[in-house]
Amino acid sequence: MKKIILASKSIDRGKLLNNALISFDFLLAYVDEEKYKKKISDPIELVKELAKIKVANARQNLSNEKDVIIIAADTMVELNGEFIGKAKDDKEAFKNIKRLAGKSHNLITGIAVSETNNPKIIVDYDTTVVKFLDLSDDDIWRYIKTNEWRGRAGSYSIMDKASLFIESIQGSPSNVIGLPLHKLFKILKEEFDVNLL
């Protein structure tokens, strides 16, 4: 099996790969998200572009290594055409969850895959619809106190406490966590001759 690098600082993405028994290393991939958010208004184009830039940057940093697979991803939470980003404090997290409660929103993840000694970069995306139960203000504050919202797009994680109020999803569950694993499986198999199973 080739060495795999996840160009991301997301613990959730790492957990997904760990649970799927895939060994990998983390590499921090910096990209100025705000700059691209101003330039690209379509969420799908935005997450694809951000994932692609992360992979391209990681490729440069790894130019001395051979046969290393690089994976990057970028996730946005979208409600009625607006992005729900990472909250900066508990008040903003409360506001985010209150907006999402009782409704459906979209989780959109862009994924980019490349290899150090191969100029090809494959870019794809996936969308999952997530529906929350109705929540009282008291429920939301109880949730905010877990601190699970910190550093997470949309201020929640489907894997943890928020699973109590996720009524349903339509689409890939791993995509909600930030990495559509079925897409990764197909891209690596079809484009890079790597079978993750």
Residue 142 binding a copy of itself, by CB under 8 A: yes
Kindly give, in sequence order, each residue whose CB lies less than 8 Å from that of residue 53, ignoring residues fewer than 6 positions away: 31, 36
Among 25, 82, 167, 190, binds a copy of itself (CB under 8 A): 167
Residue 103 binding a copy of itself, by CB under 8 A: no
Which position among 67, 74, 134, 137 bears the catalytic label? Answer: 74
Between CA 27 and CA 58 the distance in angstroms is 7
Interface mask (CB under 8 A) for a copy of itself, residues 18-47, using x and -? Answer: -xxx--------------------------
Kindly give, in sequence order, each residue whose CB lies less than 8 Å from that of residue 159, ignoring residues fewer than 6 positions away: 12, 15, 177
Q: How far is the CB of 101 from a copy of itself (least distance, A)?
A: 12
3-state secondary structure of 3: strand
Residue 11 binding a copy of itself, by CB under 8 A: no
Nearer to a copy of itself, 44 or 56 (CB): 44
Distances in whole angstroms, Cα of residue 38 to Cα of each of 15, 52, 141, 186? 31, 17, 32, 32
Ramachandran sector of residue 155 (left: φ over 0; alpha: ψ -120 to 50; beta: rest): left
- Which part of the chain contacts a copy of itself (CB under 8 A), choosing from 56-64, 71-79, 87-95, 184-192? 184-192
Binding region for a copy of itself (CB under 8 A): 16, 19-21, 128, 133, 138-139, 142-143, 146, 158-161, 163-174, 176, 181-182, 184-186, 195-197
